[in-house]
Structure 1
Amino acid sequence: MDTRRHHRLWARAALLTVPALDDFFARFEPPALDKNAIVYTGHVDAVYEALTAR
């Protein structure tokens, strides 16, 4: 397995700047209450339960 790519900085990541993040949050609209959205609250088990309940 060739791991050289994984040793390069940012090999599998996109650069996210503070202005880009601010822009995202300024335009973000949370899903409507009638949508089946899974909201991550920091508890992986809750996400797993929500995904497997469908």
Structure 2
Amino acid sequence: MEVQHGNFDPIVPESLGRSGADRLKAMGYAVNYRQYPMAHALCPQQINDIGKWLSTRLS
């Protein structure tokens, strides 16, 4: 599972993203958590990481 979050998100605090990922890990899910220097949006690095993640799973 891929969880991504912006460090400066004013809508959903980064701490909630992190705690959600931690709870999923505690339930036994394999979780990759990534943070990006952005607000509540998408950034080029995140789009690149999403593409790599999808390619790995769909190939």
Tell whether the structures are fold-level matches, with TM greater than 0.5: no
Which category describes the TM-score, using the shorter chain as reference length? Answer: under 0.3
More helix by share: 2
If the length of structure 2 is used for normalisation, what is the TM-score?
0.26
More strand by share: 2
If the length of structure 1 is used for normalisation, what is the TM-score?
0.28
The answer to which structure, 1 or 2, has the higher relative contact order (CA under 8 A, 6+ apart) is: 2
Q: From the CA coordinates, give the structure whose radius of gyration is larger.
A: 1
